[in-house]
Amino acid sequence: MIVCLCKGVSSRTILDEVRRGNCSVKGIAQACQAGRGCGSCVEQIREMIQSSGSAARAHDDGTVPGR
């Protein structure tokens, strides 16, 4: 499923980035451009990161809470 229509980025691509440790919207945007267009997909990207079960939840600025 395409998550970012502006850049044509799929949910698989985003989840692959999360599995690689990319746990911030900013990091995802830098890696695959998702979220860099109109921004309407940012909330969905954030939800995908949170629901991924990632141990390190990150803030949008790329920092990891508690570190």
pLDDT at 61: 52
- The confidence score (pLDDT) of residue 36 equals 97
CATH assignment, 2-51? 1.10.10.1100
What is the reported pLDDT for 52?
Answer: 87
Helix (H) or strand (E) holding 10: strand 9-10
> Within a 10 A sphere around the Cβ of 53, how many other Cβ atoms?
6
**What string of pLDDT tens digits covers the 67 residues of the chain?**
999 999 999 999 999 999 999 999 999 999 999 999 999 999 999 999 999 876 445 545 554 444 3
Which pLDDT score is estimated for 53? 72
Domain range summary for the chain, segments of one domain joined by +: 2-51
Note whether 1 and 11 are within 8 A (CB).
yes
Which amino acid, 18? V
Listed residue (42, 52, 58, 59) closest to 16, CA to CA: 52
